[in-house]
Amino acid sequence: MNGELQVVDDVPAAFAREVIAAFSSRVGEEFDIALSGGDTARLCYERLAAEAAHTIDWLAVNVFWGDERCVPPDDPDSNELLARQALLERVGAANAVYPMRCEESVDAYQLRLGEVGRLDLVHLGMGPDGHTASLFPGSAALDADECQLVTFNEDPSGRNKHRRMTLTYAGIARARLALFTVSGKAKRPAMEAVLAGEDLPAGRVRAERVLWLVDRDAAPRSLL
């Protein structure tokens, strides 16, 4: 596993604190953040919206996505919809919003990321199977070429629905901070496996800094 693991009581609160700190360290410059999907992400965005509606200058924030399900943007499974409802509509505005749209090519998204250079923060979750973003165990995207930042992918096990667009490891590695939020008992076995160095997708993530915010239910027993 790469990076630092913090066991926290309240993952959404810790997430909001880290995003505010990362934003504050970039004063005067634009802040590029890639968002995630899933239930933990929703709680994190709601908390961030509540705590940072005024502490973050949202007109300096450019919003990207780390992965997206290939569904219409108003589909209940859309990560874009989740972020709009839980965060963007609550804070009012952002400088720019770059949804991943499966009907556009991955090259278009990759070009946009290329223009940005580094992403300040990439938010990531982890599934009980150890996937992160839409990098699923045994899937083709795990072996994407280093020059490919974005790709389409599918879960070969069929457990996670929908075709996806996702950042690759190389795409995530552009982050100054890759920030994992992991919550709940169902995640403990994967968290223990990642800590033990087993080869699960989430454990392979690299970035300038990788920080895992993990609650007590998900934390490896050896850390409690």
User: What residues line the site for ligand 6PG (CB under 6 A)?
Assistant: 36-41, 67, 79, 125-127, 131-133
Q: How far is the CB of 115 from ligand 6PG (least distance, A)?
A: 23
At residue 156, what is the residue type? P
- Distance between CA atoms of residues 48 and 68, nearest Å: 20
3-class DSSP state of 126: coil
- Distance between CA atoms of residues 185 and 214, nearest Å: 11
- Distance between CA atoms of residues 136 and 161, nearest Å: 11
Closer CB to ligand 6PG, 127 or 220, in the complex: 127
Closer CB to ligand 6PG, 59 or 140, in the complex: 140
- Distance between CA atoms of residues 167 and 135, nearest Å: 8
Q: For residue 13, count other CB atoms closer than 10 A to its CB.
A: 17
Half-sphere exposure of 102 (CA within 13 A, CB side): 18
- Distance between CA atoms of residues 130 and 71, nearest Å: 23
Q: How far is the CB of 53 from ligand 6PG (least distance, A)?
A: 23
Closer CB to ligand 6PG, 61 or 172, in the complex: 172
Q: How far is the CB of 136 from ligand 6PG (least distance, A)?
A: 9
Q: How far is the CB of 50 from ligand 6PG (least distance, A)?
A: 19
Six-digit token string for 58: 């949202």
3-class DSSP state of 167: strand
Q: How far is the CB of 154 from ligand 6PG (least distance, A)?
A: 13
Closer CB to ligand 6PG, 60 or 193, in the complex: 193
- Distance between CA atoms of residues 12 and 183, nearest Å: 9
Closer CB to ligand 6PG, 125 or 220, in the complex: 125
Closer CB to ligand 6PG, 60 or 195, in the complex: 195
Q: How far is the CB of 189 from ligand 6PG (least distance, A)?
A: 13
